[in-house]
Amino acid sequence: MLSSRIARHDTRTALPPPKQPDPHYGSAAHREWRAAVLARAGHACQRCGRRGVRLYADHIVELQDGGAALDVTNGQALCGACHTTKTAAARAARMAR
């Protein structure tokens, strides 16, 4: 029987550890920044205009790219779909450099 000769691997051990959020995301200053960004956007996605969905306070210029962490003008409210699209594009641009 062929299947008995194939080594079995536990793929769970090959997975990277879960990403740990940066400590500043849980700070009171970050919560205030998030609230200010969402209020400034009128609690609507600034890309597609959706309301009534979970919104992310997103850094327009990402922190890894030198964006200001707590500057409200560097923040935008994005729904999940728009946040994923924007983050993937920023990551791709960073990797292309």
> pLDDT digits over 25-77, tens only?
889 999 999 999 999 999 999 999 999 999 999 999 999 889 999 999 999 99
CA-based end-to-end distance of the chain: 51
Query: CA-CA distance, 50 to 3, in Å (whole number)?
Result: 51
Confidence of residue 86 (pLDDT cuts 50, 70, 90): very high
Query: CA-CA distance, 75 to 71, in Å (whole number)?
Result: 7
| Domain locations along the chain | 25-96
pLDDT at 24: 83
Looking at domain 25-96, its CATH class is: alpha beta
Which comes out higher in pLDDT, residue 19 or 9? 19
Query: CA-CA distance, 11 to 78, in Å (whole number)?
Result: 34
